Chain A
Amino acid sequence: AAGVIQSPRHLIKEKRETATLKCYPIPRHDTVYWYQQGPGQDPQFLISFYEKMQSDKGSIPDRFSAQQFSDYHSELNMSSLELGDSALYFCASSRGSNEQFFGPGTRLTVL
């Protein structure tokens, strides 16, 4: 079965640079969620989109923005990167508010 696709899988950036993470949901899933997982931490909700509209917002820094496109894929844009942004970033998708299925994650390292 098709799963959530995330790209890139690994990303290394310098402080103050920008990064763009992409998420392709499971076919026919209309809702996308972004989570951040620091080392040894549980995933923390950042933001979600339903039918291309922002549906909920969590502890997402103002330096981050995201959107969902007409084909339902989503992008997380991160600017003025800080060392503390180094983490695993997961995208999850669902059909409506049903079960959420997670992608493999993007490991971001900020040097």
Chain B
Amino acid sequence: QKEVEQDPGPLSVPEGAIVSLNCTYSNSAFQYFMWYRQYSRKGPELLMYTYSSGNKEDGRFTAQVDKSSKYISLFIRDSQPSDSATYLCAMRGNTGKLIFGQGTTLQVKP
């Protein structure tokens, strides 16, 4: 079993929908949580970086961390076709090594 589990999708939504992406993890040592967006054959782009339980908002994106449940989420409001990509959750403990989820492929249809 992988340390980080993420539903690979694909997830297809209409433009303007609210998207919810989720990851669960098993390692209690994870302290820092990230969401990356990756377009096909491109490098992962950092969207959100959090280190405490609760919510963090940045524009249309909200990251949510629940350490007690070992569960993190990314919400995308007013989704756009340009949001179509693979979304990777990632996390780490005290070392810099990132452990990624499998990635969720999102398609936003106009």
A residues apposed to B, CB below 8 Å: 4, 31, 33, 35, 41-45, 48, 50, 55-56, 58, 88, 90, 92, 94, 97, 99-105, 107
Contacts and interface: CB of A to CB of B under 8 A. Distances in A.
Given A55-B96, A102-B36, A105-B42, 4 more contacts: A48-B97, A50-B96, A56-B97, A92-B98
Contacts of A99: 34, 46, 49
B103 A94 contact: no
Interface residues of B, number: 20
Given A56-B95, A99-B34, A42 B43 contact: no
16 contacts: A42-B100, A42-B102, A43-B88, A44-B100, A45-B97, A48-B97, A56-B96, A58-B97, A94-B96, A97-B95, A99-B34, A100-B46, A101-B46, A102-B43, A103-B43, A105-B41
